[in-house]
Structure 1
Amino acid sequence: MFVGHYAASLAAKAIEPRAPLWSYVIAAQAIDIGWAGLLMAGVEKARIDPSLPGSTLDLYHMPFTHSLPAVVLWSLAGLLLARAARLPLDAAIAIALVVFSHWLGDLLVHRPDLQIWLGGTKVGFGLWNYPVPEQAVEIGLLGLGAAAWAFVRGRQGRSLWPVLVFMTILLAVQIIAMVMPGDGAGDAAGVGGAALAVYLVLGLIAFALDRPRRLT
């Protein structure tokens, strides 16, 4: 899952707007940001298998980012960082929930590569094996999140252009990822590095679209 993860960011921004959008956007991909760094460092492992349908990534060793215990710790870390940044408790909890939502999204699409406990059973519903329905689910989730954010902004009498711009960018990135050569065009570490760059750029775009305002 890629852009589908950002549905949680937009929904969280609608429910708890006191946290900046960029914090939710980074939180949605915090697990994969950590994964990309650890993959490039050789700590976590993946390989390219062009025979796989959908994503050709075989994510066979990622206990420090995508196991259930690790995700709980990452979520708690997100909460603590948000509180250290003096965000309200409700906003910090929302950030932690967005971090955790990444694992739930991955559970839906990944093949069984998510450990329930360290060294234990791996789970994953495998929607990646059905690329067209998987893409539909991602876009559908993103649309729901965007609709929630747009609804709240509309009720507040605020412009909808940030919603439209961010949705357009996310959809463009998703389409580019679909039409470009598959993951098999490079090594797994290279895929991780490219993904890391995209996650950080999207965080910067979210910052530009939703400049922090003084809380009242």
Structure 2
Amino acid sequence: MYLGHFGVGLAAKPLQPRVSLGTLFLAAQLADLLWPTLLLLNIERVAIRPGLMAASPFDFVYYPFSHSLLMQVALGLALGLLYGLVKKNWRGALLVGLLVPSHWLLDLVMHRPDLPLYPGLSPKEGLGLWHSLPGTLLVEFGLLAFGLWAYVRSTRPRNRTGRFVLWGLIAFLVLSYLGSELGPAPASVSALAWGGQLFWLPVVLAYWADANREMV
């Protein structure tokens, strides 16, 4: 899943207005932010197999540190604690901490049974929606649309930056997703891993957009 994680981050903003949208994106996408770097370091492994599933060519061979449920819970505790200590906002910290393992729960719907519960000899879970391209697109765009509706309904731009950066962010998310979903598979795992570093750009744009918006 890609757009859906950002949709959850957008939808979470009204729950804790003091937490920046950038932080919510960071939490909801932490697994996918770490994963490309772990691929580059050969700590985790993936194989690219075009045709493996209708909506994904990726055979996730080994990724227990970024994508196991136990590690995402641990990362959520760490990120939530760090946020609470820095911002002194413990309700916001709870939300940030919960968003991290929300990634595993959303991925559970999309992936075939390849998501580990914990590092080591773990059972693998997954419901396999990626086998259906129409179903995948419906869920991805549905979650993004709901999150965007919740965010726009509860915030307003303070200036032109707050308006245009938000819509630029959404355009980037949609176009990058459609390009990866409907375009050719990455040429190599290295190209995938380096391209995955662009996952940080929506986080940066979200901090920028949210700093120029205010709650209604």
Query: If the length of structure 2 is used for normalisation, what is the TM-score?
Result: 0.88
Query: Residue in 1 aligned with 2:61?
Result: 60
Distance 1:41 1:191 in 2: 13
1:108–1:124 Cα contact (<8 Å) kept: yes
CA RMSD for the aligned pairs? 2.2
Instruction: Give the match's secondary structure for 1:117.
Output: coil
Aligned AA for 2:173? L
The alpha-carbon distance between structure 1 residues 60 and 68, as it changes in their structure 2 partners (threshold 3 A), is same
Distance 2:117 2:203 in 1: 29
Match of 2:173 among 167, 170, 174: 170
TM alignment of 1:3-152, pairs within 5 A: 3-53=3-53, 54-118=55-119, 119-152=121-154
More strand by share: 2
* C-alpha displacement of 1:190: 2.2
* C-alpha displacement of 1:140: 0.2
Aligned AA for 2:189? A
Distance 2:36 2:78 in 1: 18
2:56–2:181 Cα contact (<8 Å) kept: no
Distance 1:87 1:180 in 2: 44
Q: Which has the larger displacement, 60-69 or 81-90?
A: 81-90
1:149–1:163 Cα contact (<8 Å) kept: no
* C-alpha displacement of 1:180: 2.7
2:14–2:150 Cα contact (<8 Å) kept: yes
Distance 1:22 1:117 in 2: 28
Aligned AA for 2:170? M
Instruction: After superposition, give the CA deviation of every residue in 1:105-157 in whole Å (9 maximum; x if it has no partner).
Output: 11010111111233111000111111121011000011111111122126xx9
Matched, 1:153 2:155: yes
Distance 1:114 1:135 in 2: 21
Distance 1:61 1:80 in 2: 28
Instruction: Give the match's secondary structure for 2:51.
Output: coil
Aligned AA for 1:200? W
TM alignment of 1:182-201, pairs within 5 A: 182-183=185-186, 186-196=187-197, 198-201=198-201
Aligned AA for 1:86? K
Query: If the length of structure 1 is used for normalisation, what is the TM-score?
Result: 0.88
* C-alpha displacement of 1:87: 4.3
Aligned AA for 1:133? G
Q: Which has the larger displacement, 123-132 or 170-179?
A: 170-179
